[in-house]
Structure formats: structure tokens, C-alpha cells
Amino acid sequence: MKLFTGSANPKLAADIAHCLGIPLGDAEVTHFSDGECRITIRESVRGCDVFLIQPTCAPTNDHLVELLIMLDACRRASARRITCVIPYYGYGRQDRKCGPREPITAKLIADMLVAAGASRVLSVELHADQIMGFFNIPVDQLNVGGLFADYVKDNVFDNGSADAVVVSPDVGGVASARQFADRLGSQLVIVAKRRRRANEVEVMEVIGDVEGKLCIFRDDMIDTGGSMVEGASALMKRGASRVMALGTHPVLSGHASKRLAASSFEKVIVSDTIPVPEERRFPQLEVLSVAPLLASGIRCIHEGRSVSSLIR
């Protein structure tokens, strides 16, 4: 087994390697004077089981091209199998046509990865489950619900979960929020919203009882933070005692950090699928590591064991 990483999240890759007890492979990412990316794999991968760790986060196009070039380099160097470990799958929100002449970009990216030489994919909480069907190779999707649930039980709950509810910030996230509510033994609340245009949300109604409750938002990503901040404001107006947010992928684009820092959230818990630079951190933010989870997934794949227990 050999692990390599691009420039997207080298710390996560190093943490995964540490969990597995092996060193990261020797690969170098450089750029030509015109901005073209150059990848150099400095050790043999012939006959090896290769894992390329690279979330396709911002700058998405640059990190995606790095991954494609690494794939091509390892394929041409006769790697036995190449698994793309993509903690955050960029373009995942473009998973269907919402109008005429619109692309399905998530499918296009899947085709590109397969054409470049990917044998299988390991990811964390894809934005839509149907993305797994866009690939003609095996795809394993891990869930951080257990990691978040353990954190909440150990650091937030004082006397059980009777005074807590799990909140889905939109109707589309109900299934994931319900699974998390079941983990905590809590009730489910839904914030019904209307999106007037991209990244602009108008909260419509809160479905469920939040009076005097700790409200725990659960979503797969936090992008601009607009949905969660508006939802938190609506919950507080309806009598919620406290609000906190759990978001797997900290995209935190635009003024998201400032917006969340000034919001009603007492805590915003995210994972490190995407690196959060110091300038985007704020007092309420806490980052949990998915390195042990991904390391377990990599080991299962390498040893030919089932990944289903990790998926659950």
C-alpha cells in the first residue's frame, strides 16, 4: 500500500498515514511559469495498491487537475490499483438538471476520474447519494455521524438528550438529519425554506417543537452559512434555548466565517475534510478529524474487507 497526496489537504493526508503507520509517498507538486501543474512521483508504484488523498475543494479546478494528473502518472507507472480518496467531492451539488441546457457536472467529473485511471473511490458524505451511480467503478461513502454523535454526547449533553432536537436546515437533508437524531435519541425538526436565488435563502417555516430546546443543526456542508444562520434566527424567535451546528464539509466561502461568528450559534462543529485556514476560523468553530475514519476505510479496502460497518 502506498499513499500520495496533492496540495489540497496535506495535513489530513499526513494524519491518515500516521493512523496507518506508514509514511506518505514521495510526490512533488510544482507549476510551470504559465501556471500548468506538474506532478512528479519520486518512487516506484509498480504493482502497488495506491491511494491518492485529495479533496477537490477550493480552488476546485486546480485540485481536480492535480488529482487527474496523479492518476495518470500512477496508471502509466503500472500501479496495480488506484483508489481516489476524495474526502470532499467538488461539483457534487451539480448532480442533476434543474433547467434546460444545464450540465450534470458531478457526472462529468466521475467520467474524468475513471478515464484517468481510477479503480475505485472512497469519499465522505457525498452531497447526493446518486453520485455513487455516476461511476462505473466501486464507490464507498463514509459517514461522520458517529464522530459527531460522540462529540455531542461527551461535550454538549448534560442530562441526556431529552431537551435536544436535531434540525434539518432544509427538506432535502431530512434523511441524514433523521439518522443523526436516531443516534442521539432525539426528535427531528425541519426548517422549510425557499431559495430565491443561488446562495440566498428565505426561511419559511419551522416544523416541530423547539420551545426551550437545544437545537442541533446537521448538514453535509456549510458554504456561505446563510441557510444555517437564518434558520438559527428563526428557531431562537420560536423559543429555542440554544443552537449549535454540525457540518461535515467546511466550505466557508465568502463572508461565511464572519456571518457565523456574529450568529446565535454557540458552537459550529466541522470535520477536516477541507482545511480551514487560520483567517477563516472564528471563536465558535471546532474541527474534528476524519483521519481515523478514512484510515480505517483505506485499510479495509487494501485488505479486501467489508467497509459496510464504517458506512453505517
Cell 483508489, residue located = 83
- Give the C-alpha separation, 63 to 70, whole Å: 11
- Give the C-alpha separation, 29 to 10, whole Å: 11
User: At 93, is the secondary structure helix, strand, or coil?
Assistant: coil
Number of Cβ atoms within 10 Å of the Cβ of 58: 15
Cα three-residue angle 303-307-308, rounded to 5 degrees: 150
Cα three-residue angle 41-302-73, rounded to 5 degrees: 20
C-alpha dihedral sign at 23, 87, 58, 222: negative
- Residues comprising the chain, all counted: 312
Among residues 144, 168, 167, 164, which one has the least CA distance to residue 153?
164
Q: Using CA atoms of 113, 116, 118, 123 in order, give the dihedral in degrees to the nearest 10.
A: -30
Ranges assigned E (strand) in the chain:
2-5, 27-31, 37-41, 49-53, 81-86, 120-124, 139-142, 164-168, 187-197, 200-207, 214-222, 242-250, 265-271, 285-288
Among residues 16, 92, 107, 28, which one has the least CA distance to residue 57?
92
Per-residue cell: 199: 446562495
- Give the C-alpha separation, 279 to 172, whole Å: 31
Secondary element (H or E) of residue 179: helix 174-184
Give the catalytic positions in this structure.
193
